[in-house]
Amino acid sequence: MQTDAIDLACENICKHFSEFTAVDNVSFTIPQGSFFSILGPSGCGKTTLLRMLAGFESPTSGDILIKNKSVLDVPPNKRPINMVFQHLALFPTMNIEQNIGYGLRRQGVAKAEIAERVAAVLKRVGLPDSGKKRVDQLSGGQRQRIALARCLVLNPTLLLLDEPLGALDLKLREQMKIELKQLQKEFGTTFVYITHDQSEALVMSDQIAVMNQGKFEQVGTPHELYYQPKTAFVASFVGDTNRWSGVVKSSVNQEDHQTQYQVTTNDGLTLDCVSQSSDIPVSSNVDVFVRPEAITVSLSAMDNCLENQLECQVENILFDGAKSQIIAIDKQSGGCITAAMPQTADFMGLKAGDAVYLSFSAKQALSFSEKQGEMNASL
């Protein structure tokens, strides 16, 4: 690893508020120019972590390094870090130009140069004519871009974003996700983005850290988090998933690092599944996760090589265009299973009450040994 390309490094950051531990021994590094997201449910400590990076809180222990220099003693107004606030915090008493120029005026940049740089950044975010407008004359999406421009005009080493898309409506949010990613690429600034919305994190990020109860559960690319979750929390928090609790009956080691287990679920199903860890003892409790889109739906029983096949009856169809889902009741156990609706002609006429067969391979049924504290994963 070439260390000069690391923009931000956090070493064993802890933050305690009297009784409560908000951030618990978190370490990570962010390479230059990347889009790093911290994803977690509300109350997981992600905002506290971000505020420590910005300098509004100081960690109880640990160190924050920017370009290999500790910034713990640097106050927020001297750090090469800027932040886009949750509600943007554009100053309502100033017009757009003055808002963007605020930081430059603080650096003592000459008036003519301020005007020049403000105009340039406004052009780059696609709002070249809005300099004289008041903040309340802009739409939500435009304000978003102005808030970004206000930070980016200062050429920060690191840009922090605190769920800035939360206040936008769905359509605009989808559009801003793409726009944000585009702007990040164009400016080449390192972004640290915190959100509770997995889709925002998956679409935009190079790296995602999933945070829960003050700890990082897993750090990886969106692809890794989605397909190879390391903990039950990550499996349930990132993407939709079906979940069974059960007991391990037997285990077989396979060549490719994975161990295949046979699990009897609490409602009486027998499932073949795999796990990243090979040390789950027989007769211990596990949770099995299967994604709706990993399930093959067929109208008749298949003689294929998929290890798990369940005979079900369609309970309901949640129609949502391409993201439609089938809710099916498993005949053997009576449990509910969600599967992605195939978009082929065979299933056009599928309706509640029809019989379907749901099958999935053992490789797509991930099991995690049940631990305390991971039970409150919000599904």
What is the DSSP secondary-structure string of 60-115? SEEEEEETTEE-TTS-GGGSSEEEEBTTB---TTSBHHHHHHHHHHHTT--HHHHH
Angle, alpha carbons 150-153-156 (nearest 5°) = 100
357 Cα distance to chain centroid: 32
Question: Closest distance between other proteins and the C-beta of residue 55, in Å?
Answer: 8
Question: Closest distance between other proteins and the C-beta of residue 262, in Å?
Answer: 53
Q: Does 151 interact with other proteins (rule: CB under 8 A)?
A: yes
What is the DSSP secondary-structure string of 175-217? HHHHHHHHHHHHH--EEEEEES-HHHHHHH-SEEEEEETTEEE
Q: Which of 102, 226, 347, 357 binds other proteins (CB under 8 A)?
A: 102
Q: Does 257 interact with other proteins (rule: CB under 8 A)?
A: no
Which tokens go with 208?
A: 């995602």
Question: Closest distance between other proteins and the C-beta of residue 357, in Å?
Answer: 54
Work out whether strand 6-17 and strand 355-360 pair parallel, antiparallel, or are unpaired: unpaired
Question: Closest distance between other proteins and the C-beta of residue 58, in Å?
Answer: 14
Phi-psi map region of 227: left, alpha, beta (phi>0 left; psi -120 to 50 alpha):
alpha
Q: Does 140 interact with other proteins (rule: CB under 8 A)?
A: no
Q: Does 85 interact with other proteins (rule: CB under 8 A)?
A: yes
Which tokens go with 117?
A: 């740089």
Q: Which amino acid is at 239?
A: G
Nearer to other proteins, 165 or 235 (CB): 165
Q: Does 17 interact with other proteins (rule: CB under 8 A)?
A: no
CA atoms of 330 and 316, how far apart (whole Å): 13
Work out whether strand 61-66 and strand 6-17 pair parallel, antiparallel, or are unpaired: antiparallel
Question: Closest distance between other proteins and the C-beta of residue 76, in Å?
Answer: 5
Q: Does 93 interact with other proteins (rule: CB under 8 A)?
A: yes
Using CB under 8 A, which residues numbered 153 to 192 contact other proteins? 154
Q: Which of 43, 58, 91, 373 binds other proteins (CB under 8 A)?
A: 91
Question: DSSP class of residue 342?
Answer: P
Q: Which of 2, 18, 42, 77 binds other proteins (CB under 8 A)?
A: 77
CA atoms of 357 and 302, how far apart (whole Å): 8
| Residue span 46-75 as binding mask against other proteins, x where in contact by CB under 8 A, dash where not | --------xxx------------------x
Q: What is the total count of residues that contact other proteins (CB under 8 A)?
A: 25
Q: Which of 143, 150, 173, 291 binds other proteins (CB under 8 A)?
A: 150
Which tokens go with 298?
A: 């067929």
Q: Does 95 interact with other proteins (rule: CB under 8 A)?
A: no
The footprint of other proteins (CB under 8 A) covers: 54-56, 75-78, 81-83, 85-87, 89, 91-94, 102-103, 106-107, 150-151, 154
